[in-house]
Amino acid sequence: MTAPMKVVRTDAELEMPHVDRTLRERGLTLVLLPDAATTDALAAELGDADLLLMCYARVPARVIDGAPRLKGIVKYGVGIDAIDIAAARRRGIPVVNVPEYAEETVAEGAMALMLALAKKFKPLQREMEARGWAWPTARWLAGDLAGKTLGLVGVGRIGRNVARMAGQGFRMRVLGYDPHVGAAAMAEAGVRKVDDLRDMLAQCDVVSVHSVLNDETRHLVGERELAAMKPSAMLVNVSRGAIVDEAALVRALEAGRIAGAGLDVYGQEPLAKRGHPLASLHAMDNVMLWPHLTFYNAEALRRLEEETLERCFEILEGRPVLVKSRDPRLRAQAAGVRFATDPPAA
């Protein structure tokens, strides 16, 4: 009698009840690993597994090479920097993500962080909790987004949604830096392309990061880029923490070289109040900190679960898996994949 196919899902704290229930109803053996599971534990479970579902867990080459039955890796989310994709390609194991499920959701999160910073939500809420009221003194004087200049570092799916919300909703002037997107495509999204990152940063009242993390973008916003920003400008990052040089960001905030920051992502997660390189940010009134949850709402998770299952069954049934991402690391795959047609980056 043939044993049922085995699926391993990491990061079980991110609940996926529809995915888990459906896989089990289809007769598959499902193993859930917690966020804290070691690489050795993952390698042991993948030794006889047919499919890996992962979100945050690192999947190095030795784990992939030690999984002889593995038919595919599904990232239930967007970022793929934790997977050794080169190792998967060598084995002919397709890797796929789910890039579209939270485009507007994360864009709304970025806009919420911008508003929270501009309107001083954090210090006002602290004052209300401590004293019950706040009188209109200079300490609480807030600002508008309307009419200000927004700079996008990365003008992909989420960046374009931010551009629409900011431009049409708040009448913001939107600039964009992205070497992989042409001026015509940006103009169609209401964004004016700027080829030099520091030149763009110097013009902005708000900077919002929407790049993928790879070797090209790691610490893309570093000491010199932060120094190019206006002292009155704010930085928002809902993409990946390591795109920003976080040590340089802490120094810039402590020295008052920029006005504030709104962060949902960190190079080292989870964030902590003690013993973390960014722990000092918790005490800053001009810094909004979220726990990597801009994607986390009911509508987005429903979309995520449905598409994750579609990708799972394509792989398990031996069909080419649909790659919707434009990331060149995924587009370079040749085995077991088919590609969605994207509009050209003119």
Active site residue 292: yes
Candidates 268, 228, 223, 273; CA nearest to 244 is 223
Instruction: Give the end-to-end CA distance of the chain in Å, rounded to a whole number.
Output: 55
What is the DSSP pairing of strand 234-237 with strand 260-263? Answer: parallel
Hey, what are 30's tokens? Answer: 């499902």
Active site residue 219: no
Determine the 3-state secondary structure of 176 from DSSP: strand
Helices (H) then strands (E): counts for the chain: 14, 14
Give the whole-angstrom CA distance, residue 250 versus residue 247: 5
User: Positive or negative, the Cα torsion across 12, 13, 18, 19?
Assistant: negative
Burial of 74 (0-12, 13-18, 19+ CB in 10 A): buried
Give the whole-angstrom CA distance, residue 172 versus residue 209: 16
Give the whole-angstrom CA distance, residue 117 versus residue 158: 20
Q: Which entry of 9, 210, 240, 326 is annotated as an active-site residue?
A: 240
Hey, what are 210's tokens? Answer: 């929407």
Between helix 298-316 and helix 17-25 the angle, nearest 10°, is: 30
Active site residue 210: no
Give the whole-angstrom CA distance, residue 75 versus residue 52: 8
User: Positive or negative, the Cα torsion across 56, 32, 47, 29?
Assistant: negative
Contacts of 117 (CB under 8 A, 6+ apart): 234, 236, 259, 260, 261, 262, 286, 288
CB atoms within 10 A of CB 242: 18
Q: Which entry of 269, 282, 319, 331 is annotated as an active-site residue?
A: 269
- Greatest extent of the chain over all pairs of C-alpha atoms, in Å: 76
Active-site residue list: 240, 269, 292
